[in-house]
Amino acid sequence: MSDDLLTTTEGAVGRLRLNRPKALHALNLAMCEGMLTALEAWRTDAGIAAVMLDHAPAPDGDPRLSRGFCAGGDIRMLSESGAGDGAAARAFFHTEYRLNHRLFTYAKPTVAFMDGVTMGGGVGIALPCRWRVATENTRFAMPETGIGLFPDVGGGWFLARLPGRIGQFLALTGHRLDGAEAYALGLATHYLPAAALDEAKAAILADPQGIASTLDRLGIVPPEPKLLAQRAAIDRLFASDTLEDVFAALAADDGDFAQAQLAILRTKSPQAMKVSLRLLYDGGLMQSFADEMRQEYAVASRVVQRHDFLEGVRAVIVDKDNAPRWQPATPDGVTDHVIDQIFAPLPEAEAWTPA
């Protein structure tokens, strides 16, 4: 088992602890495989009543290394693979999406502690859990359009089911929610002060049948969710599933909020934004989470080898000049034909399947 994932059983609780502090616990293939293996073993183990997901504390006690529940996935590996034959990237996505689906369909209670950065792949393992705990440290986002990717790991399913057009707003802008906002939107089921997490975890280990009552007892009233003050503006400005319409609505509104969002969208990949809008439209119509993951895998398999993802990773993660050169550079340059190609189903032999 990789040291990047600590898999233990404590009493009747199976524990999955992410342990890559210098990478903010971002997921790699071995971590996904390890979680899948453990979940399968615990699925039929009568001695395991519940599963807990969190991150391990930094071994040297440096609080800076404990800032993340999970900051995403192994983006550098995906980019390097995408620049070649894409095989390693596809293998990662296939396994990661199986993990997302396994958690979504898991029969035993699951609880995720989203204390710290919860982005991308971290969202993918937290949202399928029955209970999801946010704190004052939570920073929840799907920022993929900034690197030419899209909100995968079930993002098309979860974001499409948020109130109004909040999901579309989050998918396009990559806006970071705090813990209070995540709770207000139902992305978190409970809001606890970070100082109470050790007590919560100890209580769950002592009584895994009483997770809900433990979290209810220790939960507090969160601060005011600031983003919801913009709910009407978001619903109006992001009303369309056509990206050009969103840009036009933002440009026509001279308010500070609209102009700030317009400036943000101008930094994102037009291709990735169109993919994201299509993903959420389709995701809202999906009949099962497995159907969602099957489509996301087909899309990811193609996007990871396209110019915008490779360029986005170069600009944001490798060279860090934050000046990506998107191709096409504007929304009207991304044709419906290109989006249809990206969303085309894979041949049956290559398609994603559940574990």
Q: Which of 54, 152, 178, 308 is catalytic?
A: 152
Amino acid in the structure at residue 126:
A
Q: Give Dmax (Cα) for the chain.
A: 60
Does 152 participate in catalysis according to the annotation?
Answer: yes
Q: Which of 14, 68, 73, 174 is catalytic?
A: 73
Tell me the C-alpha distance between 195 and 146, whole Å.
33
CA distances in angstroms from 326 to 20, 115, 145, 198, 241, listed in the order given: 31, 34, 11, 45, 21
Q: Which of 121, 124, 174, 179 is catalytic?
A: 121
Does 121 participate in catalysis according to the annotation?
Answer: yes
Q: Which of 74, 144, 282, 292 is catalytic?
A: 144
Residue with tokens 């993990």: 99
Does 216 participate in catalysis according to the annotation?
Answer: no
Question: How much of the chain is in helix, strand and coil states, percent to nearest 5?
Answer: 55, 10, 35
Contact 149, 172 (CB under 8 A): no
Does 155 participate in catalysis according to the annotation?
Answer: no
Q: Find, among 294, 298, 345, the residue nearest to 100 by Cα.
A: 294
Residue with tokens 């995906």: 78
Query: Which residues are marked as active site?
Result: 73, 121, 144, 152
